[in-house]
């Protein structure tokens, strides 16, 4: 469904991503792993069109979308959940969902506000609360719910477990598995290897802007030096 083919992305004169390649299949969860600053978020931004790769290609469901404006990628069926959440703080939870709502899309699960409240019971209890009054974990849930109500076919999650409580992390894992079972493909960037194991089918490890590993967690376990060199603090 998603193919990233040898992309090179720069910030000014700094070469951040170097020939990064990987894919995400339909109904698959792929974890993009690496230390802080390895290039995970830049990869997500390059896929979404927030940062244009200087070379290489990004293809979504057979369409080359390299450098497309994010709104065009969204219309095609890509959803994006940023690390910094970006909720509309003065709007209620329900109003935030209304902002993200789009018509049902062929080949994608159709999410409603009530269906999302079943998935996120914390939000159901606070549907009339201004988003700015939610906890960090609840804001993360709201950002995911607002993206889902746009009915994407593939969702990009940037550091979904970062800075939230262990209890919310467990709920987040359940939500990602529910996304997969509903038919969504998921690409998530993550530093937490334990969390990635709970939800992902495969891992892609990036170090200093280059792919060091692509494969299953069983394959990663068979090469412990890779995790030690690229993920250990």
Tell me how far apart the alpha carbons of residues 25 and 198 are, in angstroms, rounded to a whole number: 18
Task: Look at the block and give the residue holding tokens 């709502």.
Answer: 101
pTM passes above 0.75: yes
> CA neighbours within 13 Å on the CB side: how many for 20?
29
Q: What is the pLDDT of residue 159?
A: 87
CATH number for the domain including 225? 3.40.50.300
What's the start-to-end Cα distance of the chain, in Å?
A: 33
Helices (H), the chain: 40-48, 70-76, 93-100, 113-119, 121-125, 136-148, 166-182, 193-199, 217-221, 224-230
pLDDT of the chain, 233 residues: tens digit per residue = 999 999 999 999 999 999 999 999 999 999 999 999 999 999 999 999 999 999 999 999 999 999 899 999 999 999 999 887 789 999 999 999 998 888 887 777 788 888 899 888 889 999 999 999 998 888 988 999 999 999 999 999 998 887 777 777 888 888 899 889 988 999 999 988 989 999 999 999 999 999 999 999 999 999 989 988 998 75
Which strands sit side by side in the sheet containing 185-190, from one edge to the other? 78-81, 154-158, 185-190, 29-33, 202-207, 210-215
Residue span of the structural domain in which 160 resides: 2-230
The domain tally of the chain equals 1
Bridge-based pairing state of the strands 202-207 and 14-24: unpaired
């Amino acid at each position: 469904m998603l193919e990233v083919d040898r992309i090179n992305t720069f910030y000014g004169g700094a070469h951040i991503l170097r020939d990064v390649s990987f894919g995400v299949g339909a109904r698959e969860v792929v974890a993009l792993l690496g230390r802080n600053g390895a290039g995970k978020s830049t990869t997500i931004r390059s896929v979404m069109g927030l940062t244009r790769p200087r070379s290489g290609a990004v293809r979504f469901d057979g369409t080359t979308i390299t450098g497309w404006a994010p709104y065009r990628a969204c219309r095609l069926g890509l959803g994006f959940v940023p690390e910094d959440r970006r909720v509309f703080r003065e709007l209620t939870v329900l109003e935030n969902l209304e902002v993200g709502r789009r018509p049902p899309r062929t080949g994608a699960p159709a999410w409603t506000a009530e269906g999302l409240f079943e998935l996120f019971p914390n939000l159901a209890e606070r549907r009339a609360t201004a988003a700015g009054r939610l906890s960090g974990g609840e804001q993360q849930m709201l950002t995911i719910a607002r993206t889902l109500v746009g009915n994407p076919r593939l969702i990009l999650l940037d550091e979904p477990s970062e800075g939230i409580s262990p209890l919310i992390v467990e709920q987040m894992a359940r939500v990602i598995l529910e996304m997969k079972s509903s038919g969504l493909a998921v690409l998530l960037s993550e530093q937490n290897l334990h969390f990635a194991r709970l939800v992902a089918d495969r891992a892609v490890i990036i170090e200093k802007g280059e792919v060091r590993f692509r494969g299953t967690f069983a394959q990663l376990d068979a090469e412990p030096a890779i995790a030690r060199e690229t993920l250990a603090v």
